[in-house]
Structure 1
Amino acid sequence: MNTIKKVLMLSVIAGLFAACNDDDSKDNGGNDGQKNGVITSLDDPDYDANDLKGAIGADIELPAGEYTLTGGLIVRPPYTLTLNPGTKIKAAAGGTNVYVIVEQGAKLDAQGTAGAPIVFTSNASSPVAGDWGGVILCGYAPISGGGSAVTEVVDHFYGGDDANDSSGKLSHVEIRYSGARINGEKEFNGLTLYGVGKGTTISDIAIYDGDDDTIEFFGGNVNVTNLLCVNAKDDLVDWTQGYKGTITNVYAIRKAGYTDTSSDPRGIEADGNLDGLYPDQTGQSSPTITGMTIVNNADAVFSDVFKIRRGSSVTLTNALVKWGSNAPAPEDFVDCTDSAGDANGSATLTVVASGANLDINDNKAGANNATINVTEGSTGGADTSAFSWTGFSF
């Protein structure tokens, strides 16, 4: 997006946001009994557990139970939406019009338990990937090049200079059948983290059957622990625009029989800056990943198992790749090259791998000579016992 277009878009969005705040002044100051799209209490006429949508305009705690999400649910600053353990939010199969987004300065407190996780899923009788958007957090943490930007979908701000920013707490959360697509360039994911800071805690997350990536980071430095990624149409883990956090203990798999993929699906897709358009920006991506397993038992092609490019670095240790006997060979095992810029020379990948159709020597270090250490074997990677709460069969 060119600079003039971006400034105009930001101005329009700011104006609309201000207008919405003016229209909602009665509701925030004292409900007048009329619907206005802003939920300020569980007694508000805009609150309906079977028709959940609109803006969260106060600190709201939803009792444990089942809810039907029928449109965009937007948590506004400085408020917190709290979901209790055992809560299930079933999204109407409305594609890109149904999602949950937490704006900058707002928080989502979704702390489930091993015995009572919080579940976001589709309400379709026969759910499929892309039935609804997904869960999005927007924070004030830095992005490459500094400043702020507008989200790829639904046009909200993210980015800033607060590395310790908090967008809330997520633990023991499942996200299913998300990732609706606006077009080939704009897609929701299971969980999308825009400029999310390390004051946010994210652990014990399971994301299943998405129509794009399971998880994507746009800048920020949030740390994620115990992440299960199952059957993404596109990438299992994706980052861009200066992401610098840590990902610890992640198990990512395409199961046997899975066939629905994008044109270039990957285990990891990593960009240093947004779309490779800003190679000279400061603050390019450089996350640390420890304890990762990637399994492909599907008969769908991977473009690459690891694609590190466009100025991104990474420190990847204790990684394990297991390739099923019916899984076709990927185009590349590790590829650190790209027409919009190769990986940063500090990128280091240490991987153990096995599979009849897997060439562990098919590696491209790129012009900056990333360090790639691959050995044959079948041990290491993620500790799957951390995912026992999901009931997933490994």
Structure 2
Amino acid sequence: MKKIKFLSIFALLAVFISACSSDDDSSTPEPEPGEEGITKSGILTENETWTADNIYLLEGKVVVNDGVTLTIEPGTIIKGKAGQESLASALVVDQGGKLMAEGTADNPIIFTAESDNIQPGELQGTNLDQNDVGLWGGVIVLGRAPISYSGDNETGQIEGIPTSEDFGEYGGNDPEDNSGVLKYISIRHGGITIGQDNEINGLTLGGVGNGTVVENIEIVANQDDGIEWFGGTVNVTNALVWSQGDDGFDTDEAWSGTLDNGVVIMGTESGTGLEMDGPAGATTHPNPDQQHTLKNITLIGAGTSSNYADLRDGLLVNLENVFAYGFGETARVKINGQDSRDELANDNITFSNWQIILPEGVAIEDIIIGKYPDPNDSDNELDMEIASEKFIDNAEGVEAGSVGANTSVFEWTYAFAMGVEF
């Protein structure tokens, strides 16, 4: 008995020494993946790398903090957990944080819903399709580039994140701000509701600077907009949106970058192909720093009452080489508001090389309409002389398009794999 007691004490001493040794080890190992993956939540305070052999689960808002870099390897799958309002899951790159997410055409980085049965090494699951929307949040990138915010404030709070949070601010005075690199990324089944008439976009770019690289982006089945820009100067190349619940490409607050080569494939519940709003703060004319450009764009309708474009609130935009087809007979390009009508007249809204396969019985002069308050005009219709000069003379009805996006660059996408024609 005495021998057994001595051995027990010795064993306990050994355990104690081992525990002390572990406490002295300051390294924090990556958590072991569970059966469904590695769960991430809260604010990332140190640099991290997410690898393609794991699935990462976003629980609530996962925030890349100021001064922190999150690197995501090609082929990595990130899934957002369900949860509405304050519990909505999203990846947020805060001001000063960096996202280095460089996928490839063969190994894109995929953001999707937790309920998606896709597994590491796969490009798509089998249980969800383009009709499954609003299952998680989305990806939000926030920078320090200039914005035109209400009240002429230099910064604002991005939609989808309450002001009570320590993150969510965007905007500043650095047009060359760098939030990282986003390449070959597919974002699927997001846009969950966070409040009444308030959902998260597939990709939100708030005050993002032109030091940031955004190329080869796909948004599928997002309940709200596909991509929305809130000011900033970032340029985007090769972007495809399919079956969004609201607008395809949405611009706000004097974004002054360029979208080159974009496709919007409307679903039956989609809103507008292009929705573009003007500066929310002061506008100074002429001001090229408040004007953005969309060029080489293809808009594919779903045969419903969705519109081609809605140009609002005195925006400043160039729309070049746009090809549209498949829309219903009531689809229009809307000049929305007296201020937008004035910008059209002053050549701050420009159209160049528009081609539309027109629905039967629709003429090119029917496409553009104006709606703006004028107490002396009960019809509130666009001045057709302006319309003829600015739009109709730069647009034509065609049987086949010779402008628009180079769609061959989208053969890596989920949409192409699902047999969508574009």
TM range (shorter): 0.7 to 0.9
Q: TM-score, normalised by structure 1?
A: 0.80
Partners of 1:319 and 1:352 within 8 A in 2: yes
Q: What's the offset of the Cα at 1:218?
A: 0.3
SS of corresponding position for 2:364 = coil
Residues 369 and 197 (structure 1 numbering): CA distance in 2 closer, same or farther, change over 3 Å?
farther
Q: What's the offset of the Cα at 1:62?
A: 1.3
Q: What's the offset of the Cα at 1:343?
A: 6.1
Residues 192 and 107 (structure 1 numbering): CA distance in 2 closer, same or farther, change over 3 Å?
same
Partners of 1:146 and 1:160 within 8 A in 2: no
Look up the match of 1:266: 272
Look up the match of 1:300: 304
Partners of 2:315 and 2:340 within 8 A in 1: no
Look up the match of 1:248: 260
Partners of 1:146 and 1:161 within 8 A in 2: no
Distance, in Å, in 2 between the alignment partners of 1:387 and 1:259 is 22
Residues 289 and 160 (structure 1 numbering): CA distance in 2 closer, same or farther, change over 3 Å?
same
Look up the match of 2:107: 116
Q: What's the offset of the Cα at 1:330?
A: 3.2
Distance, in Å, in 2 between the alignment partners of 1:338 and 1:41 is 59
Residues 180 and 348 (structure 1 numbering): CA distance in 2 closer, same or farther, change over 3 Å?
same
Count of equivalent residues: 343
Aligned Cα RMSD in Å? Answer: 2.7
Look up the match of 2:141: 137
Look up the match of 2:119: none
Q: For 1:3-28, what per-residue CA distance to the aligned partner results, in whole angstroms no more than 9, with x for missing partners?
A: xxxxxxxxxxxxxxxxxxxxxxxxxx
Which structure dedicates a bigger proportion of its chain to helix?
Answer: 2
Q: Which moved more, 1:119-128 or 1:213-222?
A: 119-128
Larger radius of gyration: 2
Distance, in Å, in 1 between the alignment partners of 2:104 and 2:260 is 19
Residues 319 and 343 (structure 1 numbering): CA distance in 2 closer, same or farther, change over 3 Å?
farther
Look up the match of 2:3: none
Partners of 1:361 and 1:374 within 8 A in 2: no
SS of corresponding position for 1:289 = strand
Residues 343 and 301 (structure 1 numbering): CA distance in 2 closer, same or farther, change over 3 Å?
farther
The aligned runs of 1:314-393 (5 Å cut-off) are 314-323=317-326, 327-332=327-332, 334-338=333-337, 342=341, 344=343, 345=346, 346-350=348-352, 351-357=354-360, 358-362=362-366, 363-364=368-369, 369=386, 371-372=390-391, 373-377=394-398, 378-379=400-401, 380-390=403-413, 392=416, 393=420
Distance, in Å, in 1 between the alignment partners of 2:145 and 2:283 is 20
Residues 290 and 42 (structure 1 numbering): CA distance in 2 closer, same or farther, change over 3 Å?
farther
Distance, in Å, in 1 between the alignment partners of 2:174 and 2:255 is 14
Partners of 1:313 and 1:347 within 8 A in 2: yes
Partners of 1:57 and 1:75 within 8 A in 2: yes
Confirm or deny that 1:76 pairs with 2:76: no
Distance, in Å, in 2 between the alignment partners of 1:69 and 1:337 is 39
Residues 343 and 337 (structure 1 numbering): CA distance in 2 closer, same or farther, change over 3 Å?
farther
Residues 184 and 329 (structure 1 numbering): CA distance in 2 closer, same or farther, change over 3 Å?
farther
Q: What's the offset of the Cα at 1:205?
A: 0.5
Residues 146 and 129 (structure 1 numbering): CA distance in 2 closer, same or farther, change over 3 Å?
same
Partners of 1:54 and 1:74 within 8 A in 2: yes
Residues 138 and 152 (structure 1 numbering): CA distance in 2 closer, same or farther, change over 3 Å?
same
Partners of 2:265 and 2:299 within 8 A in 1: yes
Partners of 2:31 and 2:38 within 8 A in 1: no
Q: Which moved more, 1:43-52 or 1:215-224?
A: 43-52
Look up the match of 1:9: none
Instruction: Structure 1 unaligned segments of length 5 or more: list them.
Output: 1-30, 34-39
Q: What's the offset of the Cα at 1:70?
A: 2.2
1:86 to 75, 83, 91: 75
Q: What's the offset of the Cα at 1:299?
A: 4.1
Look up the match of 2:185: 173
Residues 354 and 229 (structure 1 numbering): CA distance in 2 closer, same or farther, change over 3 Å?
same
Q: For 1:186-236, what per-residue CA distance to the aligned partner results, in whole angstroms no more than 9, with x for missing partners?
A: 221000000000000000001101101000000001000000110111101
The aligned runs of 1:3-22 (5 Å cut-off) are none
Identity of aligned residues (%): 34
SS of corresponding position for 1:210 = coil
Partners of 1:95 and 1:130 within 8 A in 2: no
Q: Which moved more, 1:382-391 or 1:335-344?
A: 335-344
SS of corresponding position for 1:320 = strand
Partners of 1:266 and 1:307 within 8 A in 2: yes
Look up the match of 1:101: 92
Distance, in Å, in 2 between the alignment partners of 1:235 and 1:369 is 26
Distance, in Å, in 2 between the alignment partners of 1:42 and 1:239 is 42
Instruction: Structure 2 unaligned segments of length 5 or more: list them.
Output: 1-21, 117-126, 163-167, 371-381
Residues 71 and 42 (structure 1 numbering): CA distance in 2 closer, same or farther, change over 3 Å?
farther
Q: For 1:43-90, what per-residue CA distance to the aligned partner results, in whole angstroms no more than 9, with x for missing partners?
A: 266998432211110111112232222221100011110000000001
Partners of 1:172 and 1:204 within 8 A in 2: yes
Distance, in Å, in 1 between the alignment partners of 2:28 and 2:328 is 52
SS of corresponding position for 1:55 = strand
Look up the match of 2:49: 61
Distance, in Å, in 2 between the alignment partners of 1:103 and 1:32 is 32
Amino acid at match of 2:158: T
Partners of 1:272 and 1:286 within 8 A in 2: no
Q: What's the offset of the Cα at 1:91?
A: 1.4
